Amino acid sequence: MRTNRLLAATVLSVLGVAGLTACDSDGGGKNDAAPAASTPAAATVPASASASVSVSVSPSGAGGGLEGLTAAEIEKKSQAAGRKLTSVKFTADLKIPEGRMKAVFSSDDSGNCVGTMAIAGKGSAEFRRIADKVWLKPDAEFIDKVVDSGRKDDYTAVVGDKWLATGKGEDIGGFAQFCDTALELQRGKAFEGAGTVSGPEQLDGVKAVLVRRPGEEYAFADEGEPHLLSAKSDSQGDMRFSDFDVPVKVVAPPAGQVIDFGAARDS
């Protein structure tokens, strides 16, 4: 499942930046094996970002007719539509080596992004990005996993309920990859090989066709632009896409609620 593999690779890359991958608060090193959670605990996304999905279809053109195409032809049309896309929201519920990860992110091609992520047993964090400026607001459990275990209390006292500020490619700014991945998934190759096309049927109120492969299912809008609406994998979880071309509005946290991540880390 190429789509979920791309997002999973991004997840692992981001967790590596944050110090989560193959590392625990007991001082495990980077060469330790990351634990596989066969029955992961639920990851709770903060209430400030609902995980519900309300699909909005790009209004240009009536669309339709995908049911008469092959899987490869459907994917090609979806990629073309993705290259014109200016913004998208994605909701992910994935099985990763760290356990179960849930995320809700909205992003646009101008660098604006807002969302939340939660990893079972490792806490959650809110996220905002405007161009190259990144803000992350972790909960206490998440802080415990991104700083040295011996400094948890000191670090938690410094951060409190404030936002950590950093650059797009610096330290925890690596979470910005989630924003970039959302549009990449719409523009890139969703799957490899042939698939069985069925439908149309309704998906969250939108007419859609399905492309099925062993253990995988993809839904494409069969009205408006033929965007990828969802990707599901029996082994890796699922993602849903919505709010196509809906403006993403991001407000920088108030200055009094922001601290520099580097300064906080080195204090």
pLDDT over 70 (residue 141): yes
The pLDDT confidence band at residue 9, using thresholds 50, 70 and 90, is low
- Rounded to an integer, what distance in angstroms lies between the CA atom of residue 74 and that of residue 195? 10
- Rounded to an integer, what distance in angstroms lies between the CA atom of residue 87 and that of residue 251? 17
- Rounded to an integer, what distance in angstroms lies between the CA atom of residue 57 and that of residue 245? 9
pTM exceeding the 0.85 threshold for the entire prediction: no
The pLDDT confidence band at residue 18, using thresholds 50, 70 and 90, is very low
| SS3 label, residue 131 | coil
Q: Which residue has the higher pLDDT, 119 or 208?
A: 208
pLDDT over 60 (residue 143): yes
CB neighbours of 265 closer than 8 A, spacing ≥ 6? 147, 155, 171
Q: Phi and psi (nearest 5°) for 107?
A: -145, 160
Q: Are 248 and 87 in contact (CB under 8 A)?
A: yes
Q: Are 153 and 51 in contact (CB under 8 A)?
A: no
- Taking only the tens place, the pLDDT of each residue in 46-74 is 444 333 344 455 544 455 688 889 999 99
pLDDT over 50 (residue 42): no
What confidence score (pLDDT) does residue 3 get? Answer: 58
Q: Which residue has the higher pLDDT, 259 or 144?
A: 259
- Rounded to an integer, what distance in angstroms lies between the CA atom of residue 227 and that of residue 222? 8
